[in-house]
Structure 1
């Protein structure tokens, strides 16, 4: 039984159990639906009228330029010029499509779209000009896309590229509606799991500010256990002034102990003799001393999207329309229908281009706030979170604590043991009630935390397992899910094992690989970086190179070499990357390389920058100064080589996260002789 099938099958039991208590949440959360796309679905994505074609994008465009790649497939199968196909973003009136997550857009949507376009092309050639076209599925090798014809494997003009550089409206924050007002929902400066609500505020002072419209006490769905207080104004700039004079006094539940971001997930709090609850690899290492024994700690981190989330809502004749930068308009629609007790047919959510998401814009927050304030005001309302709200009220990458051990015998790893404690990623506390989460912990685990724990190497005896802890800080999907943290841990440990064995790190990895595609990217990155012949400059500050490799979701492969320098004062800088990447058939090489480069910069942030400061049971970060992301000056030279195999296209958006951080950490180890075990590595 599949994990999601089990969860849905168990809902009846959970409903009965929650119903008897009625004191926890009282109702189950909306469950996201993620149907697999097929050719019949794809027929609704492409249409022809008077010599032109309209591709209604079945994915959310959030900078990965999937609109460009899918348009290349459409033009190739239709055999038409680039300017004959227009691209539109879908809304929730389209037949439901999967949320845009998991680097799935090309992997799952390329063939259905190609089949639909080929069927439409053939129908037009038969003289059909009206009505619905029936699907005429054909073998994959008969499709021009998979034969690498037309625009496949080539550079193409980026869809909406011109609009971006000329400032044309594209994002939710650009939406303008007649009579539109601007709103914000204030919440207590406390972690979302602690119950909080507004007690008092200075309404008279707010009313005295020109442009003030209203205070809204009932702000719709809470975020966690945090109740809000809404304000509405005629202009965005008025909102900050209203916040200043309101002087809201909050009632906040006092936690029994002050929250520590490290202690709840300390892997050493459980005796090593006890197995964690969720097993990924069930090998049985033999007893005895370990050659490698590392404890690595990875902190909370924010998504760091440049665009804070935004939504515009408008109620008209009992129906709600929302424009939002979300990864799943259908889930948002379902959540809004549930929250406002209306039929799903009464809610329409229009997707907009998203200015960065990385898994962070998957749940319903700002959309519900905008809808609540719009209903109260009787007018369209835009809500755009501030950076401080984004850091305080969104969900974040969970912290994790890892203990990884390896034993060497005859120059090879004979035994492996990786244990971790983390908080939730897929069954996030941001939407899953405590009781339901206990059930998923016990029977399902969390595939997001587990992602990447299965080592990509062949060891005689390997064990990997994890425990889950519900934290008062909301955690959830973050680029690559567990692949980034787990890849960093695994690649750090395999590097230490190579050192313990007295072996070259690249050769040591190849000696433990039986996957030809993984071996190919390792060999390729070795050649690209001149790994065997490079020598550390004798007259420079500490310089080192590290290598790492990984497999993402069992379909995409990457290997990275990083070169770092460490100044005498401890400042660390990545000077250069080499990356070999294999995701099967490549539709647009430039965009795949861009995804690799984005992941490499994300890796720089992961190792050297990412953290989310907290104190006294609240997040105190308000800007990128507090929760930093890499800057232009942190950008190293990048060399990316795509190894195109005969395999079908797979994901490229997250693959390099499985090895980029590990390559940097290993390079720091090579430069300094010290293994980084707590992140971010402090650079001064």
Structure 2
């Protein structure tokens, strides 16, 4: 018996202009959110991912394809391990009925955690086929790593090192791959209208011009349902026959909203201001390092770094298509990082069993941690149930900015003491907002658990990879009036940027070369190796010519991602001291993620991280207006353009270690290398990101009348 379903009373009222659907809310409701299940992939699970029939092999990939080309990488493992030709393997995306439950596609762990089970299953299947067994149940017998063919291969396939990207031709041809491409017979289009404020504020519908909305040609339904509430934002659903009709209905309704409370950018800045917190107490609530240091006294380096709110900015806005059959079973097409979580969440909220919901994963046009919770998927299901027809819901760019969650802002204070040119005391104190237990899915009472256990997503990258006599790294969490959550690399990008900026200042305080200073404090040989490799590549390249009167600078940074993968970056920049204009001239990246399955894909992931770092350092900031994220489009919240991306060289370590993940690793070094290069060029360190031309002019004492050329 499902108490949620029994506690709601539905009534349908057929109006002259279309359908009105209202649902009376339950008194008890569904207070506890669905918690994602994250099982570790087993060898026996992997047998369900690969099948061989009549000379052809089918691979149902246990990961979501969102541009990281995991379709290609896992298909490559199948070909290598089974010894079959590339064109005899069909790689498919999974649904909730084609394979057993797998965890979300997050954390750069698709190759790290899924390659070995898949290879072991393929080796078992290969041996069975070789012995003539074509029927029956197999059991995977784990074999030593040196017997797995894919780990011994030094090139992707015998035919050569470059493989065709799975679905690459289909993307170029515009073939239907994404959820926005899904078409169902009789499909309608839906949208949920919300108050123009953050979902953290309590808002509800006020007066609307109901008659005008119904009079629009193509109007189908107006839906009032408590399931359309997102956090504290009560939504009103509209359904129409075309997307254009949706726009006209929304405009005609002229919705008014009742809103409780408000905030601005200053509210957010004050909430995480690390100096204000340090003035109240020298200790933070959560520790990464907790060694004893002397808090009072002089510091050789005392640096503050502030990192703003930033969007995921995936090129594909999220969408979903929902369709119920005559028996009340739901089919859902999604562009999500966790197909099984969507099934769990929608089934629970609609009072259905898991067997009554089938979710089809589509290719995702960028996610970066932003498409992990249930939003548009529930909206589509609620509207489809109300309209009794298939419904597609497609968010626009403004909804992505205003209703999604974002990289939390953070405020850092790093202090360091040196003795005889070596680190003695290191104190990193910072404040940020929630990541793993995102406020977009967790109510305030549930987030209280983080007051006890912390949020290791916020802490990611704060571990100091350098030797010091005593280290203290600690942080506070603060729920903000805008939604925050996982963003590429979680806290690694901002934390390592702050850490590596301070290390650069330590080298200067010691009068040391910044590369040698780092090497003198590194114990991990793999980290030292990537640093040397990146620096050697940069030194062997003749620097591009700079503009007349421009100042040039070179910066270096390195880091460890999730204690497993390593990256180092060198960046060259030029700065026009008159205008404050900054241009990145070239970047070099050395990368060690263990055994590389497909070098082309790893290089592309590194290049993507380098561009993210450039955006983080120089361009990206999500503006906050009155009680909302103020961005409507990429003009309001820009990302790097092709003309701003410099030449990049990526060097991969030829490692015999098992794969450790490449999707987010280089983000630990890219932004900091650019920041350090700016410091090298102009002699002052920008401490607030992104580095704006006007801020740099102020720091350099350049007259404010000087302007910077607009972005192309």
TM-score interval (norm. to shorter): over 0.9
The residue aligned with 1:491 is: 500
Q: Does 1:563 align with 2:556?
A: no
Give the C-alpha shift of residue 26 in structure 1.
6.2
2:72 is the alignment partner of 1:68: yes
| TM-aligned CA deviation for residue 539 of structure 1 | 5.4
CA distance in 2 between counterparts of 1:149 and 1:301 reads: 39
Per-residue displacement from partner, 1:135-160 (whole Å, max 9, x unpaired)?
A: 12211111101112673693211010
* 1:206-234 Cα deviation digits (max 9, x unpaired): 22222221111116242111010111111
Q: Deviations over 1:345-394 (max 9, x none)?
A: 11111100000000000000000000010001100000000000000000
Mapped pair 1:550 → 2:559: yes
Contact between 1:583 and 1:644, CA under 8 Å: does it hold in 2?
no
2: CA distance, partners of 1:531 / 1:50? 53
Contact 2:200 2:232 in 1 (8 A): yes
Instruction: Provide structure 2 residue ranges, at least 5 long, that are not aligned to the other structure.
Output: 1-25, 694-707
- 1:451 aligned residue: 460
Q: How does 1:228-627 map to 2 (within 5 A)?
A: 228-255=235-262, 260-271=267-278, 273-286=281-294, 287-316=296-325, 317-441=327-451, 443-530=452-539, 540-567=549-576, 568-627=578-637
Alpha-carbon contact 2:264-2:626 (below 8 Å) kept? no
Question: CA offsets per residue over residues 192-251 of structure 1, 9 Å max, x none?
Answer: 111111122112212222222111111624211101011111111221122111100111
* Greater displacement, 564-573 / 212-221: 212-221
Query: Are the counterparts in 2 of residues 536 and 544 from structure 1 also a CA contact under 8 Å?
Result: no
**Secondary structure of the equivalent of 2:128?**
helix
Matches of 1:538 and 1:338, distance apart in 2: 61
Q: Partner residue of 2:63?
A: 59
Q: C-alpha separation between the residues in 2 aligned to 1:419 and 1:53? A: 53
Task: Tell me if the contact between 1:560 and 1:660 (Cα under 8 Å) persists in the aligned partners.
Answer: yes
How far apart, CA to CA, are the structure 2 residues paired with 1:184 and 1:343?
26
Question: Would you say the 8 A contact 1:34–1:98 is kept in 2?
Answer: yes
2:83 corresponds, among 79, 85, 93, to 79
**Is the CA contact 2:308–2:622 (under 8 Å) kept in the aligned structure 1?**
yes
Distance 1:187 1:375 in 2: 20
3-state DSSP of counterpart to 2:227: coil
Correspondence 1:92 to 2:96: yes
- 1:42-80 Cα distance to aligned partner (Å, 9 max, x none): 000000111101000100000000110000000001100
Give runs of aligned pairs for residues 657-668 of structure 1, distance below 5 A.
657-668=667-678
Cα deviation digits, residues 516-566 of structure 1 (max 9, x gap): 000000100110000899799795511111000000001100000011111
Inter-CA distance 189–538: structure 2 relative to 1 (3 Å threshold): closer
SS at match of 2:392: strand
Equivalent residue, structure 1, for 2:9: none
- In 1, the alpha carbon distance for the partners of 2:56 and 2:219 equals 47
Structure 1 gaps of 5+ residues are 1-21
CA contact (8 A) 2:263 2:481 kept: no
DSSP-derived class of the 1:354 partner: coil
Structure 1 contact 329–350 (Cα < 8 Å) conserved: yes
Residue aligning to 1:4: none
Alignment partners' CA distance in 2, 1:533 and 1:498: 25
2-structure distance, mates of 1:374, 1:100? 27
CA shift in 2, pair 1:311/1:533, >3 Å:
closer
Q: Give the SS at the match of 2:45.
A: helix
Q: How many residues align?
A: 662
Name the SS for the 2:105 alignment partner.
coil
* Cα distance in 2 between the residues matched to 1:502 and 1:652: 34
Is contact 1:522-1:549 (8 Å) kept?
yes
CA deviation digits over 1:112-144, x for unaligned, max 9? 000001111111111112233221221111110
**Distance in 1 between residues matched to 2:552 and 2:29, nearest whole Å:** 55
Equivalent residues of 2:299, 2:416 under 8 A apart: yes
Q: Which residue of 2 aligns with 1:128?
A: 133
What is the CA-CA distance between 1:255 and the residue it aligns to?
3.7
TM-score (norm 1): 0.94
**Alpha carbons 1:259, 1:617 under 8 Å: kept:** no
Residue 105 (structure 1) aligned with residue 105 (structure 2): no
Task: Report the TM-score when normalising by structure 2.
Answer: 0.91
What CA distance in whole angstroms lies between the structure 2 residues aligned with 1:197 and 1:165? 43
1:61–1:459 distance in 2 versus 1, CA, 3 Å: same
Q: Distance in 2 between matches of 1:150 and 1:562?
A: 30
Q: After alignment, is 105-114 or 537-546 more displaced?
A: 537-546
1:418-465 alpha-carbon deviations (Å, 9 max, x no partner): 000000000111111211211222x21000000010111111111100
Q: Is the 8 A contact 1:536 1:543 kept in 2?
A: no
